[in-house]
Amino acid sequence: MNDYIAYLRTRRVAIVGAGISNLPLLKLLVTEGVDVSVRDKAPIELDAPRSVIGDGYLDCSGEDVVFRSPGVRPWELTLSPGATLTSEMEAFFELCPCPIIAVTGSDGKTTTTTLIAELLRADGLTVHLGGNLGRPLLTEIPNMRKSDYAVVELSSFQLMTMRRSPHIAVITNVSPNHLDWHRSYDEYVAAKCNIFLWQRPGDRLIYGNAAVQSGVQPAKMLGEHNRVNFATAVEATRGLVSDSAIQSVAECFVGVEHRLEPVRELRGV
C-alpha cells in the first residue's frame, strides 16, 4: 500500500464521481499529499487540490491515473495516451493481502455475498465485507492480514474494466439487466465474465443454480430462491468452513434487510 501511494504521488490523479465508494479514497489521497482532482456532474463541496464540476468533468486529458466511480461509463471518458483507468475496487484487487471471494449476478448477489461472510465468520475467520454492498475496502488494507478473507459483491459496472479476478468467483445467475446503462446485452454479459476471465490455476468458479442444492434442507430463509443462494454460498466456502458452521448459519440467518422481511401482521396476513 505504501509503494502504491508513493507511485501516485508522482502522478496527476483524477477521481471521477464523488460518490460513497470514492470518498474514503479521496480522503486517503489528500492526506497522503497526492495531486488529485475531483470531477463530478453535480456541485460538490470536498477538500481536494483540484476540482472540475459540470460540463467537461469527463475530460480527463492531462491526468495520469483516473479512478472512475461504478456509475461512470468508461467509454464516455476522455483519457490521455498512456493514462491508467482504474477504480477503487480494481486497486483493492491489486493490493489486497488476503484471499478474495467475489460474487456477481443479476439476482441474489447481496444475499449470497452476505451468506458467504456469515459462514466464514461462524468458523471464527476474520472477514472484510464490502464492494457493491456500499462499503469501500481499499482504505482498510492496512488492517488486513493474510489469514483474513475479503468478501465482495461486484456489479457489472465495477467489473466492466477489471483485469484481475478473485480467488473464488461466484456468479449467481445472468439475465438481461441494466440495459439502460450498458450498450448491449453482450456487453453486460462480457462485464460479468471478468469475474473469472483473469483467474489463475488453483482459483475456483461457482455458477449458482439448482444443481448445487444437494444436501441443503435446513435453511431458515424464506423462498426456494434463497435455498439456491444458500447452497451457492456453501459451495463457495467448501473446504473453508466446518459442517457445524454451515448448520449454525442455516438455523440462524433469516435473510438480509428488506428481503422477504416480515414487517407487520394484520388479520392473519
Tell me: pLDDT of 192 over 70. yes
Burial class (CB in 10 A: 0-12, 13-18, 19+), 240: middle
Length, in residues, of the chain: 269
CA pair distance 31, 208, nearest whole angstrom: 42
Task: Note the pLDDT of residue 210.
Answer: 46
Give the model's confidence band at 170: pLDDT under 50 very low, under 70 low, under 90 confident, else very high.
very high
CA pair distance 68, 22, nearest whole angstrom: 8
- Give residue-wise pLDDT tens across range 144-166: 999 999 999 999 999 999 999 99
Which helix (H) or strand (E) element contains residue 228?
helix 224-236
Percent of the chain with pLDDT over 90: 75
Instruction: Tell me the pTM.
Output: 0.91
